[in-house]
Chains A and B, each alone.
Chain A
Amino acid sequence: MHEADTDESLMLRYQAGDAAAFDELYARHRSGLFRFITRQCRTREHAEELFQEVWMNLIQARERYRVEAQFRTWLYTLAHNKLMDYFRRHARSEVALFERDGEEPALNLVVGSRVDEPQVRAESREQGAAILRVLDELPAPQREAFLLHEEGGLGVEQIAAAAGISFEAAKSRLRYAFAKLREGLKDYA
């Protein structure tokens, strides 16, 4: 297996029947995709279930794959769609947040947030643990944009493609996510 193999070439090889190419692809993206899903699901069981469904979708859709965009964009698009289905089943309020595209709330992270609670603050002494807590408090669209950026390695344009939103909306979500995280973690800096 060549290290220079791109995700797209690996996917084409798998499309042609090379199972080893899939193993390589899976190894590259399994952790990021799993965290992307886990950070947005309420339970780990649901996250594992969604994770498996995303990969199964990819396997079944391999014949239709065309190199029109980056592989990771396609992969996270599949994940996004699965998550939206999940939200519709289990968390309709978060779906409503996704539907309010561009109408980002004010930076009200601190107000009423669990991060402010003394007990939580005590538990999140370390910045790494704190950022996860703050991330959990982000509105779902912003959290997704942040995770697409950090776990998927997607840029603004790719985030927009994966989430099915405009470039400006993706840019706004990502900017708000970072701003809120900075705001929530300023005490841990």
Chain B
Amino acid sequence: MSSTEHKRDEDMSRAYHAASHDDPPAALDDAIRAAARRAVHARPHTAKNPWLPRWGSPIAAAAVVMLAVSMLFVAVDERPEIAPPALQVSLPKSSPPAVQLPATESGPAEARDQAAVAPATSGRIEEKPPAATTTVMAKAVPTPSKTTAAQQSPSAISSSVGFEARRDAAAPMREPAIIVAPENLAKPAPAAAFPAAPLATPAAAPPQFVAGQMAERARDEAMQLNQESKRMMAKSAALASGTAATREMRQNVNKKDASDTTIVSTQSMAPSAYAPPAAAPAQQPNAWLKRIEELRVQGKLKEAREELVRFRKQYPKIELPKALAEMPAE
């Protein structure tokens, strides 16, 4: 394009723009502007809250994480505390409250020596996770007076450090009351457990004495418990036999009469069928007959007859002893 043509094009453009003045009518302008405003205002919040779509998701994610963490903390706090690995010796309340090892120079190390044998106890030890026993036993010992490092053996020092660390970590509320096994207190600590630790010193004698008494009490209680369990077993057996007799009696009555069944079963289910000691043997035919015979011999003829009538109802097919069969009627 030559410069002349270019100039003529520019002139033509100017001429065109000079001649072209058409504009849209004002009403059309208003209608279009109004439509534009309506479109914007009809859209809710997207313009006024431009941060919302940008930050909504991160905020929601953060809220979820915080909620989860807080719930985790709550769950941890509310979780029942792990019971101290209790070697709970169930002693009477009047007994000495605790076996308190005196603070010796070996201090915690000795306590650990004592505790090391605790898991091997028997009797009423309720719970004994071996791993935790050492720590718990150490806590049962009063905090030793401070000793210099020179007074302690190297292992005692290390044990003492470990003891302090565990004691700091544990809450005071968790310290068990007594966790000592009587027999084991008398035993010397095995050398293999803490070879370098000093073994029982004369200061450990009083615990041995107390432990002997405790062991004696434990044996007594075990014997009492054994006797009590035997009584319970006997009761259970009697109850079982009574129940069997009741069942047999109920079957017999069912065969006889439905109306009697109600009565007899009611009787058999009554507490008297279980409770009185005399009622249970009476349910067995031979014992029952023997008891009736005793009544007859004792001259209690009326009671004997009543019992005999009941017996015949219960066991009509059993042949009566001659003495009872010939027992005169009233």
Interfacial residues, chain A to chain B (CB-CB below 8 A):
14, 16-19, 22-23, 26, 30-31, 34-35, 38-39, 48, 51-52, 55-56, 59-60, 62, 126-129, 131-132, 135, 150-151, 175, 178, 181-182, 185, 189
Instruction: Collect the chain A residues with CB atoms within 8 Å of residue B16's CB.
Output: 128, 131-132, 135, 150
The verdict on B171 contacting chain A, using a C-beta distance below 8 Å, is no
Report yes or no: A34 in contact with B12, Cβ–Cβ below 8 A: no
Report yes or no: B32 in contact with A17, Cβ–Cβ below 8 A: no
The 3 closest A-B pairs by CB, nearest first: A17-B47, A128-B19, A22-B36
Determine which of B18, B25, B36, B40 lies in contact with A26 in the assembled complex, contact meaning CB atoms within 8 Å.
Answer: B36
Closest to A129 in B: B19
A55 to B48, CA, bound (A): 24
Report yes or no: A52 in contact with B32, Cβ–Cβ below 8 A: yes
The verdict on B319 contacting chain A, using a C-beta distance below 8 Å, is no
Instruction: Collect the chain B residues with CB atoms within 8 Å of residue A35's CB.
Output: 20, 22
Instruction: Collect the chain B residues with CB atoms within 8 Å of residue A17's CB.
Output: 40, 43, 46-48
A-B contact count (CB 8 A): 90
Chain B nearest CB from A152 CB (Å) reads: 13
Report yes or no: B12 in contact with A132, Cβ–Cβ below 8 A: no
Mark contacts of B30-49 with chain A using CB atoms, 8 A cut-off: 1 yes-contact digit, 0 otherwise.
Answer: 01110111011101001110
The verdict on B270 contacting chain A, using a C-beta distance below 8 Å, is no
Known contacts: A16-B47, A62-B39, A131-B19. The answer to whether A48 contacts B33 by CB under 8 A is: no
Mark contacts of B3-20 with chain A using CB atoms, 8 A cut-off: 1 yes-contact digit, 0 otherwise.
Answer: 001001100110111111
Report yes or no: A132 in contact with B20, Cβ–Cβ below 8 A: yes
Report yes or no: A51 in contact with B28, Cβ–Cβ below 8 A: yes
The verdict on B58 contacting chain A, using a C-beta distance below 8 Å, is no
**Interchain Cβ contacts under 8 Å between A and B, 10 examples:** A17-B40, A26-B33, A30-B24, A48-B25, A59-B39, A131-B16, A150-B13, A151-B20, A181-B12, A189-B8
Report yes or no: A178 in contact with B12, Cβ–Cβ below 8 A: yes
Instruction: Collect the chain B residues with CB atoms within 8 Å of residue A182's CB.
Output: 5, 8-9, 12
Report yes or no: A178 in contact with B9, Cβ–Cβ below 8 A: yes
Chain A nearest CB from B41 CB (Å) reads: 8
Closest to A127 in B: B15
Report yes or no: A55 in contact with B12, Cβ–Cβ below 8 A: no
Chain B nearest CB from A111 CB (Å) reads: 21
Instruction: Collect the chain B residues with CB atoms within 8 Å of residue A56's CB.
Output: 32, 35
Chain B nearest CB from A17 CB (Å) reads: 2
- With A16-B47, A34-B22 given, name 17 new contacts (CB 8 A): A14-B36, A16-B46, A17-B40, A23-B33, A26-B33, A31-B24, A52-B31, A55-B32, A127-B15, A128-B18, A128-B20, A150-B17, A151-B20, A175-B1, A182-B8, A185-B12, A185-B15
